[in-house]
Structure 1
């Protein structure tokens, strides 16, 4: 199973939708609240070249936003 991390904030609507999508497909993930952890926020910005959330890290491949097509491709989700 791939390692999945979601960089998010509690007030981000797209983050909530992304988390619900992952749960609906039984994908285990680590939810990282970047509003509480500056070091992880900096990691997200450095690796994704993006300062906004959500950012998804799937086995080291960073996806900015809720890009369902790319997420499905990397996690082999069939809809």
Structure 2
């Protein structure tokens, strides 16, 4: 199983939705809150090729995208396959 990292922020409905989606698929993840972790926003922007919106989701070092991207993978039944 790949390591999943999700960069989140305060009062972010898409972040909450992404975490619920991962939880309902029994996916463990590491959450990094860009508002409380020093340097996390810069790290996220660098890893996400300049994307500044949250959430940003990574499987190992592969950038998956935001909530809509992960939801699309789930709808296409590709999410769990990508995590193997």
TM range (shorter): 0.7 to 0.9
Counterparts of residues 1-79 of structure 1 (less than 5 Å): 1-48=1-48, 49-66=50-67, 67=69, 68-70=71-73, 73=78, 75-76=80-81
Question: TM-score under structure 2 normalisation?
Answer: 0.80
Gaps of 5+ in 2: none
Instruction: Give the drift of 1:74.
Output: 5.0
Q: CA RMSD in A?
A: 1.8
Aligned counterparts of 1:74 and 1:25: Cα–Cα separation in 2:
9
Aligned length: 77
Instruction: Give the drift of 1:18.
Output: 0.4
Question: TM-score under structure 1 normalisation?
Answer: 0.84
